[in-house]
Chains A and B, each alone.
Chain A
Amino acid sequence: MKKIVILGNGIAGVQTALTIRQNSNARILLISEEHPVFFARTAMMYVFMGQLTEKDIVPYPEAFFKGHQIDLLHASISRVDVPKNILVSSNNQKIPYDLLLIATGSKPNVPDWANSNWPGIHHFYHWQDLTALESSIPASNQPVVIGGGLIASELVEMMQHHQRNPKLLVRESYFGQHFLPQEEGLLVHEIFRQKRIPLFLNTSIKSLIPPDKERTSHTLYAENGQTFSTDFIGLGTGVLPNIDFLRDSPLHLGRGILVNNQMQTNIENIYAAGDCAELNACLPDRKTIEANWYVAKSMGEIAGKNIAGIPSNYYQGIWHNTAKFFNLEYHLCGNVPLEATDNFSSYFYKNSKRLHSLRLAFNQSTNQLSGVLSMGLRIDYSLLKNWLEEGISIEMTLNNLPSLSYQNKLGFFPSRNLLKEVRYE
């Protein structure tokens, strides 16, 4: 019987394991250095804030894996011996495999002025980061969070939970500039204002002086001349594929592990999925690395099928993503350009007081709906995906607007006359 080893028990690895098990009786070993059992990484913030416990964010108990003959191993793997089909652990244990899936996810991106080993510099990605934050946030002084995305927003929320009054430093001219149009970004600013988070825009850090014998705090110097003195720096500056242990292997690496659309690497019996995988080809308006829970889950499904001997191709399909900034939900489905282009226009509604917005982007030459972005309003993704696949026109979308709502009828959803055609600002 074939022995399948999966490296990494995040959503990509676990989805692969479950998909293999649905289709085959092969032996499966799931290895993780981070946590003995699969947990919902995206829910770590709730554990920090006491809303959930560690047990609550474990979707499948260990007994579930046991019941489905998926062996779990909590170990650190230091390298892959590709010619011998062996994984070597940090204590020199050798684990043979017939088929290997690498799903080691991401690691935090550290700006070149920072060093993760300095005290007071924190990330929020791995389980271990949570433990470190639990001990340092409540005692932190004038904490600073750097970044313009979800992790930065979550770090700020966690600190605010402990009344630490964090400052948020954003390099761009508004929060979320790389995934939000300006109007939506300003809505997030509004929620930061309500939560009394001081926001420093256009603040790009150029250097950092760490604490020494005389001073206990870090000093941050920004390009615009501002300085910040703090003993706590939370970094929400993005993630990179976690593949350093593969640098000397014969695997073809780009920024991530290069895979074809069957999630297979250049080595026949090695697959990769999730944040660490880089597609060797992608759709024109998409990226080759899309580090995101949903993408990892569907890649895991495809990898699992191929490993189980059912040929299947990964297709990027229609992009969707969700997030939550404090209590403001973000929902995106399809392609919504961030700024004005010749081809695109949008119908837009926004209410800054109630923290709602809805944007229907469409292609001006074909009049087809290209994507929907909503803040504070829930939309019916299943329906919307069908619409986008069928190439629905913007007119039809506007006429059927109420059916786009995925929320209780007592709740507010804008009617057609509230949406105005706007060029992007």
Chain B
Amino acid sequence: MNNKSSIWRIILGILLTSFYVVIYFFPERLGLRIETANVGLIGLFDPLSIWLKKVPASQWFVYGCLYTFFVLIFGLVFIVKHRKHPYQLLRTLSVMFFQLSFAFLIPEFLQRLNYPYLDLKNMWPLNYYYFFDWHLDGLIHSGQLGILLLSLGLLLTFIISPILTYKYGKRWYCSWVCGCGGLAETAGDAFRQYSNKSSRAWKVERWLIYPILFIVFLMTISVLHSYLAHKLLFSLSVISFLLLFHLWISLDHNRFVGLPPIAKKFFLGFSLFTSLGLIQAYFTQWPPFLIDPYTLRSAYGFLIGSLFSGVIGVGFYPILGNRVWCRFGCPMAAILGFQQKFLSRFRIQSNASLCIACGNCSTYCEMGIDVRAYALAGKDIKRSSCVGCGICESICPRGVLLLSTTKGPNFQNEADPIDYLYAVK
């Protein structure tokens, strides 16, 4: 039975991946035409597109429609399955709402009214183009509403998000609001048990997600540097920010006791690289990091934006679980996760004296956290990757786990949970 199901998973994975490759890179195969009317799949969506915003459908419009459709349909399936749990009910209604309105209808209407296409809940760095010249210009040149939207995005990224993450953990975004999370939680729900639980996968996760965050950071700096007029002021601000941040994680021992030394060294190396790049750009005529910002951003857009978050991120649901992108790639998840671990009240409480080691929590954790290892040892679970979907809490047959935001300890080493939790000498 197991072999049969894994063959089906592989076939489904290949189909999904191929669909993504075609829609991203060969839209004409789906019927997209530039000069004449669309045909095929894309042609089918023309009437809807013309009705909504008075232009023929593009492959992105089709993608948006299908995406929203699957979030809504599988959202309902999820709700029926978990109707006894109010948390799951509200959370799913929330992702369905945000997908339908913020991610789909509002941007389409904005476009109809000749405003830039904008998802109001977009935040840097998941939406890595937020600080690209065309995006900033598009908003700035759209009058007062554009400026308002731009300010809203900045407010969301730098003020509202940290506050919400402090109070509730990264789940407020990842499993209540985010579009990627929305699809993962609904259409991807059937695949959550295929996420890899090994400590090796956890290691891969950390060595992918933070470097990707730093690449987004570098790219954004490089683009803003060429866009902004006050280059020196900008460079100095970035260098001071990195310096202050470095001082903070080195000096605030109590808070960052769980941050492994390698992470601190990695951050120091990154800060030096960034600072030297900016200093070099000031004294020479070459761009920061000696790379043309446009080359950098198109490389990122192709490799991470399209290939990783799209093709692999969803295409590999049946093979690596429904949170491939969120777990291994998303730079937003990296930032929110860092806040969650060191600057948030959110954690999962566990009660070792009730745990029967059944393993439902670990198996159904979409982020590959070995929840049981913590629960058996009676340790609270405070992991940066946890998106707070609450399935472990709902599925636990003995009421061991509780998503909590009461004040609690904010430590924990990034070591193999089984080994360090057992503290075997």
Residues in chain A within 8 A of chain B (CB atoms):
11, 18, 21-22, 40, 42-43, 46, 51-53, 56-60, 64, 67-68, 293-294, 320, 322, 324, 327, 329, 331, 378-379, 381-382, 406-408, 410-411
Tell me the minimal C-beta distance from A32 to chain B in angstroms. Answer: 16
A329 and B359 within 8 A (CB): no
Tell me the minimal C-beta distance from B301 to chain A in angstroms. Answer: 39
Q: Which residues of chain A have C-beta atoms less than 8 A from B373's C-beta?
A: 59
B90 and A410 within 8 A (CB): yes
Known pairs A22-B423, A56-B363, A408-B86; A331 contacts B358 (CB<8 A): no
A-B contact pairs, 14 of them (CB 8 A): A21-B424, A22-B423, A40-B358, A42-B356, A43-B358, A52-B363, A53-B363, A57-B358, A60-B418, A320-B354, A381-B354, A382-B353, A408-B402, A411-B86
A381 and B398 within 8 A (CB): no
B358 and A294 within 8 A (CB): no
In the bound complex, how far is the Cα of B362 from the Cα of A22, in angstroms? 24
Q: Which of B363, B372, B398, B402 contacts A407 (CB 8 A)?
A: B402
Interface size class of B (residues with CB under 8 A): 20 to 34
Contact residues of B between 80 and 126, Cβ < 8 Å to A: 84-87, 90
Q: Which residues of chain B have C-beta atoms less than 8 A from A40's C-beta?
A: 356-359
Contact residues of B between 389 and 409, Cβ < 8 Å to A: 390, 393, 397-399, 402-403
Known pairs A329-B398, A407-B402; A22 contacts B422 (CB<8 A): yes
Known pairs A51-B360, A53-B2; A22 contacts B425 (CB<8 A): yes
A406 and B360 within 8 A (CB): no
Residues in chain B within 8 A of chain A (CB atoms):
2, 84-87, 90, 351, 353-354, 356-360, 362-363, 372-373, 376, 390, 393, 397-399, 402-403, 418-419, 422-425
A59 and B393 within 8 A (CB): no
Tell me the minimal C-beta distance from A41 to chain B in angstroms. Answer: 8
Closest to A324 in B: B397
Tell me the minimal C-beta distance from B275 to chain A in angstroms. Answer: 42
Known pairs A21-B424, A22-B422; A408 contacts B356 (CB<8 A): no
A411 and B87 within 8 A (CB): yes
A329 and B397 within 8 A (CB): yes
In the bound complex, how far is the Cα of B353 from the Cα of A331, in angstroms? 12
Closest to A410 in B: B86
B403 and A408 within 8 A (CB): yes
For the complex with contacts A11-B357, A18-B424, A378-B399, 5 further pairs of A-B residues with Cβ separation under 8 Å are A42-B356, A67-B419, A68-B424, A406-B351, A410-B90
In the bound complex, how far is the Cα of B393 from the Cα of A293, in angstroms? 20
Q: Which residues of chain B have C-beta atoms less than 8 A from A410's C-beta?
A: 86-87, 90
B393 and A327 within 8 A (CB): no
Q: Which residues of chain B have C-beta atoms less than 8 A from A327's C-beta?
A: 84
Q: Which residues of chain A have C-beta atoms less than 8 A from B397's C-beta?
A: 322, 324, 329
Q: Which residues of chain B have C-beta atoms less than 8 A from A324's C-beta?
A: 397-398
Q: Which residues of chain B have C-beta atoms less than 8 A from A51's C-beta?
A: 360
A-B contact count (CB 8 A): 91
B357 and A59 within 8 A (CB): yes
In the bound complex, how far is the Cα of B359 from the Cα of A56, in angstroms? 6
Tell me the minimal C-beta distance from B306 to chain A in angstroms. Answer: 34
Tell me the minimal C-beta distance from A262 to chain B in angstroms. Answer: 21
Q: Which residues of chain A have C-beta atoms less than 8 A from B390's C-beta?
A: 408
A322 and B354 within 8 A (CB): yes
Known pairs A52-B363, A406-B402, A407-B402; A42 contacts B353 (CB<8 A): no
A382 and B358 within 8 A (CB): no
In the bound complex, how far is the Cα of B400 from the Cα of A42, in angstroms? 15
Closest to A50 in B: B1
In the bound complex, how far is the Cα of B363 from the Cα of A201, in angstroms? 38
Name the residue in B2, B84, B363, B423 with the highest tally of chain A Cβ atoms < 10 Å from its Cβ.
Answer: B363
B399 and A52 within 8 A (CB): no
In the bound complex, how far is the Cα of B356 from the Cα of A329, in angstroms? 14
Closest to A331 in B: B399
Tell me the minimal C-beta distance from A145 to chain B in angstroms. Answer: 20
Q: Which of A46, A406, A408 contacts B358 (CB 8 A)?
A: A46
In the bound complex, how far is the Cα of B358 from the Cα of A42, in angstroms? 7
In the bound complex, how far is the Cα of B351 from the Cα of A379, in angstroms? 11
A43 and B360 within 8 A (CB): yes
In the bound complex, how far is the Cα of B398 from the Cα of A327, in angstroms? 11
In the bound complex, how far is the Cα of B373 from the Cα of A407, in angstroms? 21
Closest to B2 in A: A53
Tell me the minimal C-beta distance from B190 to chain A in angstroms. Answer: 13
Q: Which residues of chain B have C-beta atoms less than 8 A from A407's C-beta?
A: 399, 402
B356 and A22 within 8 A (CB): no
Q: Which residues of chain B have C-beta atoms less than 8 A from A56's C-beta?
A: 359-360, 362-363
Instruction: Please give me the 4 A-B residue pairs with the lowest Cβ-Cβ distance, nearest first.
Output: A43-B358, A378-B399, A410-B86, A40-B357
Q: Which residues of chain B have C-beta atoms less than 8 A from A381's C-beta?
A: 351, 353-354
Q: Which of B85, B359, B403 contacts A57 (CB 8 A)?
A: B359
In the bound complex, how far is the Cα of B424 from the Cα of A384, in angstroms? 30
Q: Which of A42, A57, A329 contacts B399 (CB 8 A)?
A: A329
In the bound complex, how far is the Cα of B423 from the Cα of A205, in angstroms? 51
Tell me the minimal C-beta distance from B349 to chain A in angstroms. Answer: 8
In the bound complex, how far is the Cα of B86 from the Cα of A46, in angstroms? 24
Tell me the minimal C-beta distance from A56 to chain B in angstroms. Answer: 4
Tell me the minimal C-beta distance from B354 to chain A in angstroms. Answer: 6
Closest to A377 in B: B399
Q: Which residues of chain A have C-beta atoms less than 8 A from B422's C-beta?
A: 18, 22
Q: Which residues of chain B have C-beta atoms less than 8 A from A329's C-beta?
A: 397-399
In the bound complex, how far is the Cα of B86 from the Cα of A410, in angstroms? 6
In the bound complex, how far is the Cα of B197 from the Cα of A53, in angstroms? 14
Name the residue in A57, A64, A329, A408 with the highest tally of chain B Cβ atoms < 10 Å from its Cβ.
Answer: A408
Closest to A329 in B: B399
B351 and A382 within 8 A (CB): yes
In the bound complex, how far is the Cα of B400 from the Cα of A379, in angstroms? 10
Tell me the minimal C-beta distance from B362 to chain A in angstroms. Answer: 7
Q: Which residues of chain A have C-beta atoms less than 8 A from B87's C-beta?
A: 408, 410-411
Q: Which residues of chain B have C-beta atoms less than 8 A from A64's C-beta?
A: 418-419
In the bound complex, how far is the Cα of B351 from the Cα of A68, in angstroms? 25
Q: Which of B90, B359, B423 contacts A59 (CB 8 A)?
A: B359
Tell me the minimal C-beta distance from B26 to chain A in angstroms. Answer: 38
Q: Which residues of chain A have C-beta atoms less than 8 A from B363's C-beta?
A: 52-53, 56
In the bound complex, how far is the Cα of B402 from the Cα of A22, in angstroms? 28
